[in-house]
Structure formats: C-alpha cells, structure tokens
Structure 1
Amino acid sequence: MSFNTNFYSRRSKSLMRCFKVIGPPLLLVIGLIVYNEYYIFYSAISHCNWPCKHGRCSETSLKAFMISDTHLLGKINGHWLDKLKREWQMYQSFQIAKWILNPEVVFFLGDLMDEGKWAEKSLFSSYANRFRQLFGDDKMVITLAGNHDIGFHYAVMPDTLEMFRKEFQRGLIDDIQIKNYRFVLINSMAMHGDGCRLCHEAEVELDRIKNRSSETRPIVLQHFPLYRKSDSVCEKMDEQHVVDLKEKYREQWDTLSKDSTRKLISTLNPIAVFDGHTHKMCKKKWKSSQAPGYFYEYTVNSFSWRNGDVPSILLAVMDGEDVFVNSCRLPSEAHQIKVYVVGGLAVLIFVITLVIKRRSIFKRRCSYSLLMYRSPEKCE
C-alpha cells in the first residue's frame, strides 16, 4: 500500500513537472491556431455591413451574397495540402459570413471547381458534391457555370454541359424570380455569337425573354464581364481596391464580345450586372438607351486565397429599382502567414528560455546537494 502511494505520488509530481515545461508553450500554440484559423475570419467579417438604404433594410428588399471563382481544386493539379488550406479558408469565410450577415440568397458566379472541364461523370459528381458540402445545397444557393466548370466556348462538350445542368439545375439562360426581384442567369460560354448550336439556343432564349410582357427590369448574372479593354475604366470599390491599369483583356476570352455585350444590354435593359472571371474587383458605369439612362456592372473578386491575397464577398441589397453594393474583404493570407511565423518564433524563444532556466535550476540544486554531502544522482 505504501509502495503504491509513493509510486502515484512520484508519478503525479513527474506529470506536474512535465506540464510546467510543456503546458505554457502548448497553450501558446493552441491560442495561435485558434486566432489564425477562427478569430481572423470572424474579426474581418464582423466589420462588414449591408449597404441598406438610409442605414436600414426594408422588408421588401433582398439581401444577397455575390461570390465568384471558388476554384475547388481537383485531382490533376490540386496538391492535397493546398486543397485543404484553400477549402478551409473558404468554408470558414462562408459559414461565418452566413452566421453574421444572414443573406437571403447566395449567388456563385461561375468557376465553382477548377477541373470540371476535364472530369468524367463520376469525378464531376464528386466535385459537385464537395461544393455542396462546403457551401450547402438548399434552394437559396444558386450557381452559374464558368469556363473551368464546363470549358471555354470552343471546348464545351454536350456531356459536360449536361452534367452541370443535372448537378446544379442550370440551363443556358434562366429567368428566375426571388421575392419581387427578377434575375437573368446567363451561361457566358453560350454568348460567343458565332452561330453554333449552343449560341443559337441561347439567342433564341434571349429573344423569348425580350418578347415576354414584363415591365420588371432584371438583374443580370454571368461569369464573363461585359466587354472592356482593361480595368482602367473601373471605379474603386473600397480602400483596399487597387485598380490594375496594365493588364489588357482579350475579347471572348477575358470578357464577352462587343456584339454580345450590346445584345445583352439592348435585350435585357438590366438594373445591374454581376460577373466574375478576372479574379479582380471592378465597378463600371454603363450607358443605357432606356430610363434611367445608366446601370452599373460589378465584377466580383475571387473568393479563394489561391487567386489573390485578399478575397472578398460582394454584399448586394436590391431595393425596388435600386441596387446597393458593399465589398466585404476577407482576411489576408499574407497576414495569416506572418502571424504564424512571428507566433512560432515567439513560442520557440519561450521554449528555449524555459529549457535554459530549467537547466540553471537543475545545476543549482546539484551544487547545493554536493555541498550538503548528498549524492548528485539524487538531484532533481
């Protein structure tokens, strides 16, 4: 009995000594991870606000997330660590943003996956399932096709187009209504205007929409931006938005063609246009032949760290004939890496200091034991 008591007493003392050494740095590491993987997302998104008219959204208004270019990595070009990091960043950002801001609808403006254009049926289905696991699959999550989902115009295969339609219930052009607001969702790859079967079907549907007796002007959603030569025509969206004045855009690759752009504007007379594809933010004012004489196009920044250091969500509030927009910037990946480096060095310095201090205490105890005619082997 005495032996057991002494054994457990020595063991508990040993565990306490271990905790004194390991505990503080372990708590610091846990705190660092919690800060970098949870708090920075909450902190960034908590500063975002809906751009409501007069500071308060009415009951008839509609609050929407506009998200683009998630580019979920696939099996060909996606390294597992890169995939894990990017998906965690997007999952955290999306779930925390939904919790804090509570949107009524979420639009994903294309390039949901990175390698959908190369995937056969079962692999495409697995990519689509992964998207739904991260972002949900309820009816208020609405998706559009991008060139990475089904391929550029010249490479779109009927099977891939059918797989996207089946997985995401999306046609070439869809005319939907949410609350009292009308949205026209366009497959940009069908707007090449070269008379192919894909483009012909889209043009027929556009003409059908034009002939419908509806006085409601739509909000147009698509993947490609309307035609522009570069972002030099863009207005700044927020303090972090730096307009790229150098890159030139290629017609029908980086933007829609001039003809397709004119056709969309004259046919639909939109209240606003939202698109993505460039991985950059842009606000551009367009002239309209009908009242009120203009509308704004908003190109949405990529949602993934893989396509830029400071991704974002566009917060859009539809209120009658008005559309109000705020950019909600997510945390910077560079900032997260810097915190990990600085925090890791701080933990390392703390551990080294602790070890040196423990060794100094150990030596003093041994010296004292020798002076008291005790065996050094008994030093603790």
Structure 2
Amino acid sequence: MRRISKKLILIILGLFCVALYCEWLIYYVVIAQCSWLRLEKVDNQNVLKAFILADPHLLGPFRGHWLDKWRREWQMHQAFQAILNVHKPNVVFVLGDLFDEGEWTDNKQFNNYVERFYRLFTVPKDIKMHVVVGNHDIGFHNRMRRGAHARFNKLMNSSSVQHLTLKNNHFVLINSMAFEGDSCNMCTEARKHISSISDNLNKCEFDSQYCHTNGVYYNYSKPILMQHFPLYRLSDSVCTEPDAPPLPERNKRFRLKIDALSREATDYLVSKIRPRAAFGGHTHHGCLVRHSIKTVEFLEYSVPSFSWRNRPDPKFMLVSISPDDYAVSKCGLPKESTICLTALILSFTVIVCVWRMKTIGR
C-alpha cells in the first residue's frame, strides 16, 4: 500500500475520533465538572438527588427545519443520558414546555410527540421522572384547545396538581395555566386539590397521625413548589445571575398570567403551600429571587432552557434535598461554539500531523 493511502486511512480514523469526541465524549467531559453539593449533618444516603431541567421545546410537524430538529434532539439526548450516567439522580423533574408545538397538534401528532420525548429522555427503572405542563404543551389558559389539557394529563401522567413525597421531602407540582383566577373547571379543580394538600400538610405538621396519603406514611417537611411559570414579578430586572436575560430584554415588563403568575395566584399558592423553595422555567434564562410573602420566606429559582435552540449555553440543576435543607448546583452544557471550534481545531491538527509524517512505522 502506498504511503499516501496509509495517510488517508489515518486521517479518516483521526476524524472519526474527533467526531466521537465532539458528538459524545464532550458532554461527559463538561457535565463531569459539575457535582452535587453536600448537605451538612445529613447522611448522604438520606439525601434526595433531584435533576431539574426546563423547556426542551421539541420541535413538532409545523416549524423548524428537519436538520435543526435532528441536531437539537441529538444534543439533548446525549446530554441527558450523560447526566444520568455521571450523576445518577434519584428523580428527574421537567418543568414544562416539553414540546414546542403541542398546542397545535392533533391526537396522532401528539402521540408521536410523546413517543419521541420518552425515546429521547429515557430513564432507567430506578429513576423516576415527573413533568409539569407548559403553555407550549397545551396553550395558554385563554387559547387552550378543547381536550388538550386532558390529553397531556393522560399521556404524560401529569395532573394539574401533584403532591409527591420522596424520602420525606414534599413536592407540589402545579399547572401554571390552572391558576388564572376564574371559575373554569380546570382552575376550580386545581384550587380544590391545593386546599386539600394544604389541609393535610397543616394537620401533619402538628399531629403525625395525619401524615399519610393513600395509606403511605411520611414525616412532615416544608414542601417545594414546582411549576412552569415564574411566581409574580414585574420583570426580570431583579435577576442578577450570569445567565439572566441580556439588557434591555431584562427590563421588559412581564404580561401577568402569560409571562408570570398574577399576584393573586402567587399569594394564594404561597399562603396555602408555604414552600421552602420554588422552581420554574418559561423565561429560558436564569434568575434567583428572594420572596417574603405573608411571613413566608423562600428562594425561587428560574431554570434556564435545556435546548440549544433557546440559548447558546443550556443549563440544568442538580439539587441535593433533605427534609431540613437543600443545596442547588447550576450546571452548564457545552456551547455550540465550543463544540464547533473544538471540532475544527482537532480536525486541522489531525490532518496536519498525519500529512507531515515522513514515514509510517514498519
């Protein structure tokens, strides 16, 4: 075999290794740089490890080029699986807008959507995944198609209000669009469930005989609120995180009930649930807000989007939780520019090094 043919084979093998690194291994390299924060005076075995992401926005049948759809889904799949393999969480929370066009799809298209989601975000049997609904999944309150809400609840196993107890930690997951403040069936049912959860937790706090649901007993701890919308705020001007919205977008005034919950809905939820922390998505940016509402003080975390379509540096959160404490670690995924630049540099290095080889080892 001539020397040039051997060099060509080496170049092809080298470029294959570059592609393997940039399309698979780089996610592990970046994700491994983040870690769970330890809780003081808590046995690590009693700590719940929660992986939280928001706004993957899987493209549907109407918008976006097929190549863009394939690329973003490949990236999110690789990143998601790398996080599970490296960090091994106990539970995964997805905070709404799973789909980008869920509100417009018919039943057949939505079924395909759900199958794609579970194929891309596959979890092993020992890890539980819980989702909350977003406006792109079923539409805003006043633009919701008939049956869209019930369809999502059935196929995604996600009712408007969910009360979960995991390692004696309480989570209340809500449908943000169900707190419009009117008397629609969805809103009435959601407020009824919130009142029931509130009554149970209040009784449990003072008398352990009430600490059970459907025959499952637990200990009391302040709950954590999970939803898609942020709680009431006028804009993102209060956000000072590095991944907060850029100016002047940060100062753009919110449309209440569209960009954030209303003050009335927020006051109602806080007075009933009395959360120790809240997590939401929707804005695609990061934000940390300290709330003090009716003697209840807590931090609210806005989780940035998990999709490269929505931001150049997607993020996720690793949250260590015990009944008395929690710690949040915000983690980044590789930037698209970093992946491209790495691929170019490594490819150029491979080609130059192989081509300048004088001889192939005998």
Q: TM-score range by the shorter chain?
A: 0.7 to 0.9
Give 1:342 deviation, angstroms.
3.9
Residue 142 of structure 1 aligns with an amino acid whose one-letter code is H
Alignment RMSD (CA, Å): 2.3
* Residue 26 (1) aligns with residue 26 (2): no
The answer as to whether partners of 2:93 and 2:131 remain within 8 angstroms in 1 is: yes
Equivalent residue pairs, number = 337
1:221 matched to which residue of 2? 226
Give 1:278 deviation, angstroms.
0.4
Residue 295 of structure 1 aligns with an amino acid whose one-letter code is F
* Residue 329 (1) aligns with residue 327 (2): no
The answer as to whether partners of 2:244 and 2:285 remain within 8 angstroms in 1 is: no
Give 1:183 deviation, angstroms.
0.9
2:290 matched to which residue of 1? 285
The answer as to whether partners of 1:231 and 1:245 remain within 8 angstroms in 2 is: no
The answer as to whether partners of 1:225 and 1:276 remain within 8 angstroms in 2 is: yes
Give 1:160 deviation, angstroms.
1.2
The answer as to whether partners of 2:267 and 2:293 remain within 8 angstroms in 1 is: no
Deviations, residues 272-296 of structure 1 (Å, cap 9, x unaligned):
1111000001111111434xx5111
* Correspondence for 2:162 among 169, 174, 187: 174
Aligned mates of 2:292, 2:120 — CA distance in 1? 38
* Residue 164 (1) aligns with residue 152 (2): yes
- Aligned-partner SS, 2:58: coil
- Aligned-partner SS, 2:36: coil
Aligned mates of 1:310, 1:185 — CA distance in 2? 26
* Correspondence for 2:243 among 224, 241, 244: 241
Give 1:44 deviation, angstroms.
0.7
Give 1:245 deviation, angstroms.
4.9
1:69 matched to which residue of 2? 55
Larger-Rg structure: 1
Counterparts of 1:205-354 in structure 2, within 5 Å, are: 205-212=193-200, 213-215=203-205, 216=220, 217-236=222-241, 240-242=242-244, 244-247=246-249, 248=252, 249-290=254-295, 293-344=296-347
Aligned mates of 2:66, 2:344 — CA distance in 1? 22
2:92 matched to which residue of 1? 106
* Correspondence for 1:38 among 24, 30, 47: 24
Deviations, residues 49-94 of structure 1 (Å, cap 9, x unaligned):
1012139762222110011001111111132111111111111111
Aligned mates of 2:324, 2:292 — CA distance in 1? 16
Give 1:136 deviation, angstroms.
2.1
- Aligned-partner SS, 2:309: helix
Give 1:227 deviation, angstroms.
1.2
Aligned mates of 1:228, 1:299 — CA distance in 2? 12
Aligned mates of 1:55, 1:92 — CA distance in 2? 35
Residue 241 of structure 1 aligns with an amino acid whose one-letter code is D
Residue 334 of structure 1 aligns with an amino acid whose one-letter code is S
The answer as to whether partners of 1:51 and 1:325 remain within 8 angstroms in 2 is: yes
* Residue 122 (1) aligns with residue 108 (2): yes
- Aligned-partner SS, 2:147: helix
Aligned mates of 2:41, 2:116 — CA distance in 1? 37
Aligned mates of 1:58, 1:339 — CA distance in 2? 37
Aligned mates of 1:232, 1:57 — CA distance in 2? 39
The answer as to whether partners of 1:145 and 1:187 remain within 8 angstroms in 2 is: yes
Q: Which runs of 5+ in 1 are unaligned?
A: 1-12, 359-380
**Structure-2 change in CA distance of 1:70 and 1:318 (3 Å):** same
Residue 140 of structure 1 aligns with an amino acid whose one-letter code is K
Residue 266 of structure 1 aligns with an amino acid whose one-letter code is S
Aligned mates of 1:171, 1:65 — CA distance in 2? 20
Aligned mates of 1:242, 1:23 — CA distance in 2? 47
Query: Of the two structures, which has the highest relative contact order with CA contacts closer than 8 Å and spacing of 6 or more?
Result: 2
Aligned mates of 1:54, 1:95 — CA distance in 2? 29
Give 1:152 deviation, angstroms.
0.9
The answer as to whether partners of 1:231 and 1:244 remain within 8 angstroms in 2 is: no
1:90 matched to which residue of 2? 76
Give 1:18 deviation, angstroms.
5.3
Residue 172 of structure 2 aligns with an amino acid whose one-letter code is V
Deviations, residues 288-346 of structure 1 (Å, cap 9, x unaligned):
434xx511111101001111011111111111221210101111111112223444555
**Structure-2 change in CA distance of 1:277 and 1:199 (3 Å):** same
When normalised by structure 1's length, the TM-score is 0.82
The answer as to whether partners of 1:226 and 1:257 remain within 8 angstroms in 2 is: yes
Give 1:31 deviation, angstroms.
2.4
Give 1:184 deviation, angstroms.
0.7
The answer as to whether partners of 2:284 and 2:303 remain within 8 angstroms in 1 is: yes
Aligned mates of 1:95, 1:202 — CA distance in 2? 33
1:153 matched to which residue of 2? 141
The answer as to whether partners of 1:146 and 1:223 remain within 8 angstroms in 2 is: yes
Q: Which runs of 5+ in 2 are unaligned?
A: 206-219
